[in-house]
Amino acid sequence: MSVKVKEQFQVSPVMAFFLIHAMQVGIGVLGYQQVIAKVSGYDSWISILLAGIMVSILISIIYYLLNHGRDDVIGIHKALFGRWAGDTLSFLFIIYLFILGIVVLRTYIEIVQVWVFEDLPTWVLTILAAYFLYYAVSGGFRAVTGLCVAGVFIPSVIFFILLMPLEYGKFLNLLPLFKTSFDKLMLGARESTLSFLGFELLLLFYPFLKEQRSSQKWAQIGHWTSVFVYVVLMIVTLAFFSEPQLKMTIWPTLTLFKIIEFPFVERFEYLGISIWMVIVAPNIAMTFWAASRGMKRLFPMKQRSAVIILTILTVVVTPLIEDRENIDTFNDIISKIGFWTVLVYIPFLCLCQFLAEKIRKKE
């Protein structure tokens, strides 16, 4: 029962680049260095490369699954596990996506609260964001893709600005290479995988790509661009901080921003945080779009009403996550779920698909 998406709603395969890259690079970039460096120290950038290879394989697996299933994950679930079990799994996946969106939004608001407006109540930015998200998501997949394209191009300047702290860089820190033991590097790679999460949305937007098979090339390029950004930024960070200093800094990227000074702006981090909204918005919009799309496929409802329900839920739920500890717990839980989903569940699904095909052939 595969769905066919009308061509007017589809996007060209090149867009897979922007979709994957924009989803991977998000709020995590502000603080991923600390988490990884806590495990693999000055060799963290190697961990990221390892994770990059792993995720690249996972993307291939997802493409195998989707190419053979000829449908999005909801259809594949139904085909493999039957109606009830399949729909339950899909529903869980949708809940995961929705919570992911909320956690990203809340984390961004937290950063604004800590760094810019300490007395800003959470619900203010939530309402503003919800309004914007509703507007973007109700524009359909093509609008969200557009947002992703903007979310890649506009902040790309920041990437070059982030090279400026190299003024204080000490590459001596990185030497000797491979001084961290292999198992620690792998543990670091595990932490790094979290930075690459987001590509699993491919499971839902796949039918919206034209020439789906050939889009894998672009998806992979998008992924490797993310790897490049993460590795370069990691190297800058490692050269900039001494190890214990890095381990106590929650948002190393923002601290990097702090040292940057222009004649017209003395404290660049305020600008950086504002521009980061452009990076975060497509992230949240994509998860909401995917969640609403899933709801439409599961329940007899229009996507627009699904979006309205999600928006209202966001406005209610987000301000309930209150302090640093809560946000941290949520981030932890959601990244663990994400990790097991992509690393275990997706290969498992792929295996099921493979076996199902074998059996069908025999019959």
Partner 1 sequence: MKRSRAVLAICTFFFLAGCLQSQVIDDISLIQTVSFDKAEGNKLRYTVFYPFFVEQGKESEIGMEHRSIISETPEEARSLLNTRSQKPLRYGQLRVVLFGREVAEEGVEQYVKSFYRNPRIGNRVFLSAAEGSAGKALRFKEGVKERIGMYFSDLIEHNMDFENIPETNMHLFLFDLYSDGKDAFLPLVKREDNELKLIGLGLFDFDKMVGTLDMDQSFIFKLLLRGSDKGTSQFAIPKEGGRGYVVIQNIFTDVSYDLITKDPVPEFNIHLKMKGEITDHTGEFNLEKEKDIKKIETVVQDQIKTVSKNMIQQFKEKEIDPLGFGEKYRSRTRNWKQKEWKETIYPEMKVNVDVNLEILQSGAIE
Footprint of partner 1 on this chain (CB under 8 A)?
A: 114-115, 117, 119-121, 124, 127-128, 131, 168, 170, 172-173, 175-176, 179, 240-245, 248, 254-255, 258-259, 261, 266-267, 269
Q: Which is nearer to partner 1, 126 or 292 (CB)?
A: 126
225: nearest Cα among 17, 11, 54, 53 = 17
Please list, residue by residue across 218-244, b when 16 or more beta carbons sit within 10 angstroms of its beta carbon and e when fewer do. bbbebbbbbbebbbebbbbbbbbbeee
Which CB, 170 or 213, lies closer to partner 1? Answer: 170
CB 291 to partner 1: min, Å = 23
Nearer to partner 1, 177 or 344 (CB): 177
Length of the chain: 363
Contact 73, 93 (CB under 8 A): yes
Question: Whose Cβ is closer to partner 1: residue 218's or residue 251's?
Answer: 251
Q: Which is nearer to partner 1, 170 or 302 (CB)?
A: 170
Q: Could you tell me the smallest distance in angstroms from the CB atom of residue 241 to partner 1? A: 7
The minimum distance between CB 296 and partner 1, in angstroms, equals: 22
Residue identified by tokens 């061509």 is: 7
Distance, CA of 133 to CA of 213 (rounded, Å):
30
Closest distance of CB 77 from partner 1, Å: 36
Instruction: Write the DSSP string, 194-227.
Output: HHHTTGGGHHHHGGGBSSTTTHHHHHHHHHHHHH
- Between residues 84 and 178, which has the closer beta carbon with respect to partner 1? 178
Buried b (16+ CB within 10 A) or exposed e, 317-328: ebbebeeeeebe
Quote the least distance from Cβ 324 to partner 1, whole Å: 13
- Residue 135 has φ and ψ, to the nearest 5°, of -60, -45
| Tokens found for residue 92 | 């869980």
Q: At its nearest, how many Å lie between partner 1 and the CB of residue 353?
A: 44
Closest approach of Cβ 304 to partner 1, in Å? 13
Would residue 70 be called left, alpha or beta, if left means φ above 0 and alpha means ψ between -120 and 50 degrees?
Answer: left
Nearest distance, CB of residue 85 and partner 1, angstroms: 41
Residue found under tokens 């190393």: 252
Specify the residue, 252 or 282, whose C-beta has the smaller distance to partner 1.
252
Q: Does the CA dihedral 56-57-62-64 come out positive or negative?
A: positive
Q: For residues 92 and 280, what is the distance between their CA atoms, to the nearest angstrom?
A: 23
Looking at the Cβ atoms of 156 and 245, the one nearer to partner 1 is: 245
